[in-house]
Structure 1
Amino acid sequence: MADEANRSAFLEIQGRMIETTGKLKQVQNQVRNKEAEKKRAYLTLEELKQLSDDTNTYKSIGRTFILEPKSALMEEQEQKLTDSEAAISTLLTSKEYLEKQMAEIENNLRELLQQDPSLARQIMAMSV
């Protein structure tokens, strides 16, 4: 009876671990994407700063380019930069939370396996 309870507890912990690992990978990918977006906005902004104010600047919309004032393009890039920084900050908080959850799940799994060494042997036998 206790063996069956431990087995179901293991399956629940395993499911939570898989779910948390997936969420963690997703957040890491989102952080990577936002950092790339931030870098792109920063580099574009730096290039725009070097241009004189009377230079014709164009904004890409799909396959077309539309004449835009330099100031409008700079504001847009600055907005992208600040939005990316805010998103990165939020995502890093989520990542921290998920890492704490993962550590908790690992501790629960470790405790379960220490309570029932026969369960650990069964799991090892299944993975071989």
Structure 2
Amino acid sequence: MSHAVDLELKQAFTELQAKQQMTKEVIQNCQRNIEVARRCKQIATLTHLEVKNLDENVKIYESLGRCFVMTPREEVIENLQTKIDEYTKEGKQETEKIQLAEGKLKEAENSLRELVQQKKTRS
């Protein structure tokens, strides 16, 4: 019977290791996405500030694919603010994904601890 217990524990530890590896990859991916969103948000914020400080009469061009289109100042400011909000939202979503992955990993660790504790009490 102890041989079967050992196989069960071995399988549980293997599953935990796989979950740890997956969680590590998810966290790294999310951290990269958070960093990208942070940088893009910073660029959009700085551009937003510069455009706001420009004179009303200055012509502003916005990128549209491979060309640039003259765009009203207010529309450019509105588009930049929208980008800033989107990047902020992306960062929060990625942070939530990290917390969710860590929570699932802790849950798996706790269930493994309970299994080991049950096996100790039976022995």
**1:109, 1:24 → 2: CA distance?**
22
Specify every segment of 5 or more residues in structure 1 that has no aligned partner in the other structure, as ranges.
117-128
Shifted more, 58-67 versus 34-43: the winner is: 58-67
Q: 1:84 aligns with which of 75, 84, 87?
A: 87
2:26 corresponds to which letter in structure 1? K
How many residue pairs get matched? 116
Stretches of structure 2 that go unaligned for 5 or more consecutive residues are none
CA distance in 2 between partners of 1:74 and 1:49 (Å): 7
RMSD: 2.3
- Return the offset for 1:109: 5.8
Whether contact under 8 Å (1:10, 1:112) holds in the other structure is no
Provide the residue aligned with 1:21 in structure 2: 24
Question: TM-score, normalised on structure 2?
Answer: 0.79
Residue 70 (structure 2) pairs with residue 67 (structure 1): yes
Match of 2:13 among 2, 10, 30: 10
Residue by residue over 1:17-60, the C-alpha shift from the partner in whole angstroms, topping out at 9 and shown as x without a partner, is 11111111111111111111111110010110111111100012
**Is this contact kept in 2: 1:57–1:67, CA < 8 A?**
yes
Per the alignment, in what secondary structure is the counterpart of residue 60 of structure 1?
strand
**Is 1:99 paired with 2:78?**
no
Identical residues among aligned pairs (%) = 28
Query: Do residues 49 (structure 1) and 15 (structure 2) align?
Result: no
Residue number among 38, 42, 45 corresponding to 2:41 in the alignment: 38
Distance 2:60 2:7 in 1: 69
